[in-house]
């Protein structure tokens, strides 16, 4: 699979959800105190992402 979500711990010991495409890190979430919260963030992105508006700030 060329794209995937990965849950990792950051240096502060928090759980971070990362999205990788072809092994390249595309974006990551804030740090969460539990793995379940990071999983909820992934579920929210999957649920709400397809309908997300695209905004361009080119100034």
Residues 29-55 pLDDT 10s: 999 999 999 999 999 999 999 889 999
Q: How far apart are CA 45 and CA 13, in angstroms?
A: 22
pLDDT tops 90 at residue 23: no
How far is the CA of 53 from the CAs of 17, 23, 50, in angstroms? Answer: 21, 26, 9
- Can you give the pTM of this predicted structure? 0.83
Q: How far apart are CA 13 and CA 8, in angstroms?
A: 9
pLDDT tops 70 at residue 1: no
pLDDT tops 70 at residue 16: yes
Per the listing, tokens 């700030």 go with 57
- At residue 50, the pLDDT reads 87
- At residue 59, the pLDDT reads 82
Query: How many Cβ atoms sit within 10 Å of the Cβ of residue 41?
Result: 19
């Amino acid at each position: 699979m060329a794209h995937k979500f990965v849950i990792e711990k950051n240096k502060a010991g928090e759980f971070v959800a990362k999205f990788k495409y072809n092994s390249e890190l595309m974006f990551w979430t804030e740090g969460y105190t539990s793995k379940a919260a990071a999983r909820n963030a992934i579920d929210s992105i999957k649920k709400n992402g397809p309908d997300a508006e695209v905004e361009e700030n080119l100034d």
